[in-house]
Amino acid sequence: MLAGFDRVRWPGPIGYPSKELSPAGKMVGVVEFTGEAPVPMDEAFGAELDGRLYTDLSRLTAENSVIPVEQFYIRTRASNLLDVHKQWLVHVAGDVVKPFDLTIEELRQMERPMGLHLMECSGNVRSLHFGMIGVAEWIGAPLSNILERAKPKPDAKRVLISGFDTYTAKSASSVPGASWIFTPDELKKAGAFLATKMNGSPLTRDHGAPVRLVVPGWYGCTCIKWVDEISFTDDAIRATSQMQEYASRTMQIGIPQLAREYKPATIEQAAMPIRIEKWADGEKISYRVVGILWGGTVPVTKLEIRFNPEEEYVDVDNFQQTTNDPWSLWTHTWTPKQPGTYLVRLRVPHPQVVARRLEAGYYMRSVEISEI
């Protein structure tokens, strides 16, 4: 049983930064990123809609690149009214010939290993140390089987998926009610599934127990937690409040009114540094930048890094993206020319790869180097 999970969790090296490419000498410390807010990391705080957990990415290694459930980011904590002990039903209805209710027992019978997938909140920002991204190993029921079983009518062009979002408290910043509208084809192409387990254990309340949607390659705002309804609709349906709230963060143009005017909320190619290690070899100091690369649809073969606007981009010296989902790790040895503040950003020099956030400098981080 345990051996089986090991195999599922580490299907092979995840873009492995090899030891030989570390700087000479030994690692003597880690330089903190500057300009990021002092927020609690790796622990949940707050409640319901304002509850959060930000993941500390700085300890990721190639051997340990799956985030434990207790450290996996949380964007909204479970409602105080959520009762996971009652008989949970997912209503599959709307424009269908055969509406039905799915029980958790039925879902469990359909579940199978879904592999490692990355989830990122579209509101993952620098001030919060980009702590709203993670990779977990999922188990769940493929959605395509469930959608087919309902026998959608000819007009049923779209699927609304919603979850239990009734809270006791009013939120300071979030609109309650997460639901997203997809085409059946989008869900099928992405390999979407209803997850029941994360890293081998049943979902926790905060991560969507008893059942949540996972849409690989799409932003977290589409991965509805506490799923209780799957409803087929026609093509005239309006976008949900969640889709409108996240329109700009999912790279829509304006705030479209209709669901069909939304582009898939997929994660474009992205990359960022997660740790800057300081190495010493006798008197000689150098730094090793460790980072991640994720998103996009075709693995890239080139990644470049730049340490300040006046410097040139150079090739990242140790990277390989073998898959777009989950993430890959990369490393780069760096010897700054002088002490000072550096703005570190990445670039993917492939004209055909769309990477709007990356190119806009969204994932840039800064560091203060005092010793060279």
Ligand X SMILES: Nc1nc2c(c(=O)[nH]1)N[C@H]1C(S)=C(S)[C@@H](COP(=O)(O)O)O[C@H]1N2
Does residue number 221 form part of the binding site for Mo ion (CB under 5 A)? yes
Q: Using CB under 6 A, which residues numbered 117 to 156 contact ligand X?
A: 119, 121
Q: Which is nearer to Mo ion, 22 or 174 (CB)?
A: 174
Q: Which residue is nearest to ligand X (CB)?
A: 220
CA-CA distance, 293 to 40, in Å (whole number)? 24
Does residue number 226 form part of the binding site for ligand X (CB under 6 A)? yes
Does residue number 220 form part of the binding site for ligand X (CB under 6 A)? yes
Q: Which is nearer to ligand X, 143 or 223 (CB)?
A: 223
For residue 142, how many other CB atoms are within 10 A of its CB?
Answer: 17
In the bound complex, what is the minimum distance in angstroms from residue 85's beta carbon to ligand X? 18
The full DSSP string for 24-86 is SSEEEEEEPEES------SS-BS-GGG-BB---GGG--STT-S--GGGS-BSSPPPTT--TTS
Q: What DSSP state is assigned to residue 93? A: E
C-alpha distances out from residue 330 to 3, 54, 121, 153, Å: 28, 22, 22, 48
Q: Which is nearer to ligand X, 158 or 207 (CB)?
A: 207
One of 82, 118, 150, 221 touching ligand X (CB under 6 A): 221
CA-CA distance, 19 to 17, in Å (whole number)? 7
Does residue number 67 form part of the binding site for ligand X (CB under 6 A)? no
Three-class SS of 161-188: EEECCCCCCCCCCCCCCCEEEECHHHHH
Q: Name the one range near ligand X by CB under 6 A: 12-20, 28-36, 69-77, 271-279.
A: 69-77
Q: Which is nearer to ligand X, 120 or 277 (CB)?
A: 120
* Cβ-proximal residues to 262 (8 Å cutoff; 6+ apart), any chain: 181, 239, 243, 247, 250, 252, 256
Does residue number 49 form part of the binding site for Mo ion (CB under 5 A)? no
Q: Is-contact 211 203, C-beta < 8 A?
A: yes
One of 220, 291, 296, 326 touching Mo ion (CB under 5 A): 220
CA-CA distance, 338 to 372, in Å (whole number)? 6
Q: Which is nearer to ligand X, 205 or 347 (CB)?
A: 205
One of 66, 121, 265, 348 touching Mo ion (CB under 5 A): 121
Q: Which is nearer to Mo ion, 71 or 250 (CB)?
A: 250
Does residue number 52 form part of the binding site for ligand X (CB under 6 A)? no
Does residue number 207 form part of the binding site for ligand X (CB under 6 A)? yes
- Helix (H, G, I), strand (E, B), or coil: what is residue 134? strand
C-alpha distances out from residue 292 to 24, 224, 329, Å: 22, 25, 5
Three-class SS of 325-351: CCCEEEEEEECCCCCEEEEEEEECCCC
- Helix (H, G, I), strand (E, B), or coil: what is residue 276? strand
Q: Name the one range near Mo ion by CB under 5 A: 1-9, 99-107, 117-125, 321-329.
A: 117-125
One of 23, 53, 75, 230 touching Mo ion (CB under 5 A): 75
Site mask, ligand X, residues 164-203, x = CB under 6 A? -x------------x-------------------------
List of residues contacting ligand X (CB under 6 A):
72-76, 119, 121, 163, 165, 178, 207-208, 220-221, 223-226
List of residues contacting Mo ion (CB under 5 A):
75, 121, 220-221
